[in-house]
């Protein structure tokens, strides 16, 4: 009888060992799946964070451009959608020291005063500019609310003609 009990006990232990092994295996699969899910989430967050802190891709006139005609518009191209919240043009000398009055650009606004200059490509009308060096200073807000300030310069050699 002791032998039968020992055999049954041994069989039960084997079944328990298999159950524990399968449970550990299931736990490892679930843990691995959770780890993959978490890593994918972290990757997505870093990708979104990088996208959120979008910078300027290009402008017209281009940064440091020397043009012979005064532009009628400024064109901003961004890698993602943004809102321009402030834009100014400062006449400067070759050392970027301001030499004239700042021109605050008029942004389209909604009825409560928020800028509607939104998108990946934004154009702003500008007044006729005289020959000289100009620094465009602007601020943008990305879709997730992050603010960014940037600037670029261009030179007009002959403002008697316009584009």
Q: List the domain boundaries for the chain.
A: 1-52, 58-156
Looking at the DSSP assignment, which residues form a beta bridge with residue 121? 77
Q: What is the pLDDT of residues 105-162, one digit of tens each?
A: 999 999 999 999 999 999 999 999 999 999 999 999 999 999 999 999 999 997 455 5
Identify the band that residue 57 occupies on the pLDDT scale cut at 50, 70 and 90: confident
Six-digit token pair at 8?
């049954």
What does the pLDDT average to over 17-31?
A: 63
Six-digit token pair at 1?
């009888």
Class at the top of the CATH hierarchy for domain 58-156: mainly beta
Six-digit token pair at 50?
């990088």
Report the predicted TM-score, pTM, of the whole model to 2 decimal places: 0.65
Instruction: Round to whole Å and give the CA distance between 32 and 116.
Output: 46
């Amino acid at each position: 009888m002791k032998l039968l009990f020992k055999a049954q006990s041994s069989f039960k232990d084997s079944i328990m060992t298999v159950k524990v092994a399968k449970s550990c295996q299931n736990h490892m699969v679930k843990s691995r799946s959770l780890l993959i899910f978490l890593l994918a989430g972290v990757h997505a967050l870093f990708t979104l964070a990088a996208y959120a802190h979008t910078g300027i891709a290009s402008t017209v006139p281009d940064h440091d451009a020397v043009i012979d005609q005064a532009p009628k518009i400024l064109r901003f191209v961004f890698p993602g959608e943004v809102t321009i919240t402030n834009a100014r043009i400062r006449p400067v000398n070759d050392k970027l020291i301001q030499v004239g009055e700042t021109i605050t650009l008029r942004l389209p606004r909604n009825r409560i005063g928020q800028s509607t200059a939104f998108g990946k490509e934004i154009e702003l009308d500008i007044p006729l500019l005289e020959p000289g060096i100009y620094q465009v200073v602007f601020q943008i807000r990305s879709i997730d609310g992050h603010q960014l300030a940037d600037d670029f310069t261009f030179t007009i050699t002959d403002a008697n003609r316009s584009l």
